[in-house]
Structure 1
Amino acid sequence: MTAFGTHQSTNPWGVTFDDWGQHMASYPIYAQAFHSLDPAYPTQHPRPVGLRAYSGTCGQEFVDFPNWPEEMQGGFVKVRYKPTNRVEFHRWHESGFGYDEEYVSNLIFSRNLSFIPVDLRYGPDGAMYVCDWYNPVKGHAQYSLRDERRDRVSGRIFRIMPKGAKPQKMPQIDGAPIGQLLDILKRREYRYRYWAKRELRERDPAMTKAAIDSWVAKLDPTDPRHRHHQIEAVWTYRGIDATNTQLLGELLECDDHRARAAATHQFRYWHDQFDNGPALLRKLANDPSGLVRMEAAIATSYIGTPAALDALLDTIKHPNIGHLSYAIRTALGSRTIEPLWKGNADFTAEHPELAVFMTAFDLRQKMSPNKRYSAKDAQFDTQKNLKVVKISAVKERMLYDITRFEVWPANRSV
């Protein structure tokens, strides 16, 4: 069990992955930037100030089945059960320092608050299936578990298919030959690839590795998806606990920054099998792509050597904001990297860029929009005779410790 990304947050719901393996969720949205190893217990990473995150999303799925409209391809569908109840379509946008989402429209919306979409998934026919909790009461903390309004027997599943679209025929996966399963990895549909890799993990590892080696050697370099096919092979190697450093090394040097970022993500696990591992990590830390530098920063927390710290400091020398900045900060605070620099006056004096980065990061933390008062709120707090009431919960009971208090009405003299 590897503990990473721990910070003050709600449940990390809605976990899925885009075409290049970028981890997304709802809290936070771009979860890929939150993979640095945790600080020493019980410390947590700092709050992700300014990085979008929200709860109430349990399921998300990227649109990649060809029987869905072309204009929706590459976007994703999410179900939200609070504070609203709808099935939404979003776009997934890359910036120089991470990814973010853009709300486009609703696929399903209901004024009936019993509609509580809690999950969705593509089925093998290319239709999207939405699980509806369908209950007049939602939440385990907002209402009593014994609330008589709770419906314990009802529920609905919606099947969404674009108008005029035909069901798609699923390729054979269960019992299919290894070579046939590997060819499924060339498909655009993520779910087919995911199911194929799950099946391959059940096969004989030695036979599967030999088949992957042969499959990789025969890939067509002129295929527009060539680099993606290679990354799929890397993921499949890991699924059977095998390696191919030659393939990963090629991807780390390739011309597609998305493939380099995905390969750098894997480098954190295979780094010790490279003779030039430290030099390679240093190069990745200075990559022109912010996504690659972000993955390199996170990788340093898994490697945890003085050479890894040197590479991490290189990432500071390049522009870094948003998700990239957060990845650097959390790598610096990880249980493997922090002991290498914190409290070492000679080291920090030798690397003044470290103090500059930490000061700038801390300043952004203090400027959190969540901590700002509006002018109206600030004016309200200047009034006389305000009463401050602090209410807490009674331990292990669903009760408040203060149930009644008295105040004077506004504009009345005391």
Structure 2
Amino acid sequence: TGFGCEDSHHALHDFAWTPDGDLVFRESIFHHSQVETPYGPVRQQNSGWFRFEPKRHRLTAFGTHQSTNPWGVTFDDWGQHMASYPIYAQAFHSLDPAYPAQHPRPVGLRAYSGTCGQEFVDFPNWPEEMQGGFVKVRYKPTNRVEFHRWNESEFGYDEEYVSNIIFSRNLSFIPVDLRYGPDGAMYVCDWYNPVKGHAQYSLRDKRRDRVSGRIFRIMPKGAKPQKMPRIDGAPIGQLLDILKRREYRYRYWAKRELRERDHPEAKAAIDSWVAKLDPTDPRHRHHQIEAVWTYRGIDATNTQLLIELLECDNHHARAAATHQFRYWHDQFDNGPALLRKLANDPSGLVRMEAAIAASYIGTPAALDALLDTIKHPNIGHLSYAIRTALGSRMIEPLWKGNADFIAEHPELAVFMTAFNLRQKMSPNKRYSAKDAQFDSQKNLKVVKISAVKERMLYDITQFEVLVGQPVRIDFTNPDATAHNIVIVMPGASEEVGLAANEMAKDPKEAQRGQYVPKSKKVLHATRMIAPLSATALRFTAPKKPGDYPYICTFPGHWIIMKGVMVVK
């Protein structure tokens, strides 16, 4: 097939139909793919997404960056792509750089392996307080089925852990996927195996269970099963009315069925359905977006409808319509002007979609629109979308290495410098499943501490935590000298500091440059971080109240570079 086959553990996975009718899937690290298509070869390596358009036999590679096992994919109510590495995958849709390059890692953005599937709660027989949130299954480092909220910010979305639905200390319980069934129950696939690892244990290990497996059915207490609407063989009009339902899976299945119908007949029916939509319906804009997705699923267009959505007052609808603009842009005489307007939209989500669309259009006019997005506030997912669009294979040659162009657009150099610095300064460069589990604790205390540039001081010299409280310190170092944070027992600052000074006399310790003494009075410590870098320290606060000093143990620094963690 041309798809990489170097490691079956990371082979093609996460096959799902997008809301607009394409097949999206992914391969993970260690793979190298070169797929021959009617439009030329498509190449990708070391993890990334593919999007296949069945009617056109077109394969597109996008969102490549090094990651490990990013399993699990779904879409929210407005069609925003959610995964695991990264969580908010919608921001990762820019076309790939020229092979074999990859986009930067998503530093500072939530992304981790250890989960295998997600499903948004939208069936009415589930509790109202869960609506709009999602359930995910986690197979490491703990085995559980979790409920999360899906929180919107100015520049993207993020998850918020709420509680467990299923939890087991039996490590043979390995939930690997979940999905709503037609009855409104959620079904969890449990691999149920005493041996999980493929590298830690032999493939011939006798403990491997090749027979067992379980399906868990989750239904809220007191809830009644729903009756599924007819889909197979249903009239086109009935299928279109299903698109008004809240339940994503019903809409998903209805669009699958519509794509198999006669396309001219389906388009005529959609045209009529759109014309009869009630503008006073609270979900009116969503119904229109469903129509846009259905048009594309049958390889049709409705530019008038897309224009209406691009100009409406609902930013979710504008963002979803801008996402579609990447595919229909050549249907508009004023396409460049439209993209420019979207790039300056007041909504960060719309500007994000405009930046990504620029990578698909790939013209000088698209680059102009992309540069407009830089002129507005941009951090987090929006910043990442802009950076990856600038690095995409059609956009990058338009500016990189062009000294005159860069001189004419100083905002470009400013953006790239700021982005690279944020990448380097993020305290969560390597965000593991274990880190995610720790950070999901409800009473987590997050403390942000920075070294003061050229002062040999911490900017925060005291903070309070509760006995036994989970704590995460995000430590950044903008200074020209290496620094760390070492938390010690009450009254032990001088003893530990002097011991660190002595370590500097040892050539081996000096070469290692960490200077954290091996002492029972050292409770927790970051590594010694270089200038213009960052790290995170996670720990549980002591069980005994008191004043616990923290110091920098670079030889000599501890005398003035210090603070106190007050445990109450």
Identity %: 95
Deviation at 1:13, TM superposition (A): 1.4
- 1:309 offset after TM fit, Å? 0.2
Paired with 1:260 and 1:201, the residues of 2 have a C-alpha distance of: 24
Describe the SS at the equivalent of 1:391: strand
Q: Given the alignment, which residue of 403, 407, 427 partners 1:349?
A: 407
**Cα separation, 2, equivalents of 1:205 and 1:341:** 42
Paired residue secondary structure (1:392):
strand
Q: Compared with structure 1, are the counterparts of its residues 77 and 397 closer, same or farther at alpha carbon in structure 2 (3 Å cutoff)? A: farther
From the superposition, tell whether residues 157 and 220 of structure 1 become closer, same or farther in structure 2 (CA, over 3 Å): same
Question: Cα deviations across residues 363-395 of structure 1 (Å, max 9, x unaligned)?
Answer: 111113256999999999999999999999999
User: 1:83-142, CA deviations, whole angstroms, 9 ceiling, x for partnerless residues?
Assistant: 110000000000000000000000000011100000000000000000000111113223
Q: Indicate the larger mover: 383-392 or 328-337.
A: 383-392
Distance 2:291 2:441 in 1: 66
Greater CA deviation, 236-245 or 388-397?
388-397
CA contact (8 A) 2:112 2:432 kept: no
Deviates more, 1:379-388 or 1:11-20: 379-388
Work out whether 1:146 is the aligned partner of 2:204: yes
Query: Secondary structure in 1 aligned to 2:457?
Result: coil
Separation of aligned partners in 2, 1:221 and 1:389: 48
Distance 1:220 1:359, change over 3 A: same
**Deviation of the 1:176 alpha carbon:** 0.1
Q: Which moved more, 1:8-17 or 1:155-164?
A: 8-17
SS of the residue 1:213 aligns to: helix
How many Å separate the matches in 1 of 2:377 and 2:461? 52
Higher relative contact order (CA 8 A, sep 6+): 1
- Note the alpha carbon deviations across 1:298-322, whole angstroms, 9 max, x for none: 0000000000000000000000000
Aligned equivalents of 2:441 and 2:335: distance in 1? 63
Name whichever of 211-220 and 367-376 sits farther off.
Answer: 367-376
| Partner-residue secondary structure (3-state), 1:261 | helix
For residue 12 of structure 1, report the CA deviation from its aligned partner: 2.8
- Superposition map of 1:114-263 within 5 A: 114-263=172-321
Larger CA Rg, structure 1 vs 2? 2
In 2, the alpha carbon distance for the partners of 1:53 and 1:152 equals: 31
**CA offset digits 1:28-49 (Å, max 9, x no partner):** 0000000000000000001111
Sort the Cα spacing of 1:280 and 1:384 in 2 relative to 1 into closer, same or farther, 3 A: closer
Q: 1:85 to 1:395 in 2, by over 3 A?
A: farther
1:215/1:388 Cα in 2 relative to 1: closer, same or farther (>3 Å)?
closer
Matching of residue 106 in structure 1 with residue 164 in structure 2:
yes
Name stretches of at least 5 consecutive residues in structure 2 with no aligned partner.
1-58, 464-567
User: 1:269 aligned to 327, 330, 342, which one?
Assistant: 327
Q: TM-score, normalised by structure 2?
A: 0.65
Who is 2:538 aligned against? none
Q: Distance in 1 between matches of 2:451 and 2:224?
A: 54
SS at match of 2:355: helix
Gap change, CA 1:390 and 1:33, over 3 Å in 2: closer
Compared with structure 1, are the counterparts of its residues 200 and 390 closer, same or farther at alpha carbon in structure 2 (3 Å cutoff)? closer
- Cα 1:395–1:173 change in 2 (3 A) is farther
SS at match of 1:93: strand
CA drift at 1:11: 2.9
Q: Give the conservation status (yes or no) of the 8 Å contact 2:85–2:113.
A: yes
Which structure 1 segments of 5+ residues have no match?
A: 406-413
For residues 155-206 of structure 1, give each alpha carbon's deviation from its aligned partner in whole angstroms, at most 9, with x where no partner exists. Answer: 0000000000000000000000000000000000000000000000100000
Q: 2-side partners of 1:169 and 1:379: how far apart? A: 37
What's the secondary structure of 1:2's corresponding residue? Answer: strand
Residue 329 of structure 1 aligns to a residue whose secondary structure is helix
1:352–1:153: structure 2 CA closer, same or farther, 3 Å change rule?
Answer: same
Partner SS, residue 172 of structure 1: coil
Query: How has the CA–CA distance of structure 1 residues 332 and 73 changed in structure 2, closer, same or farther, with 3 Å as cutoff?
Result: same
C-alpha contact 2:108 2:429 (8 A) present in aligned 1: no
Counterparts of 2:347 and 2:178, CA distance in 1:
33
Shift of 1:144: 1.5
Distance 1:170 1:351, change over 3 A: same
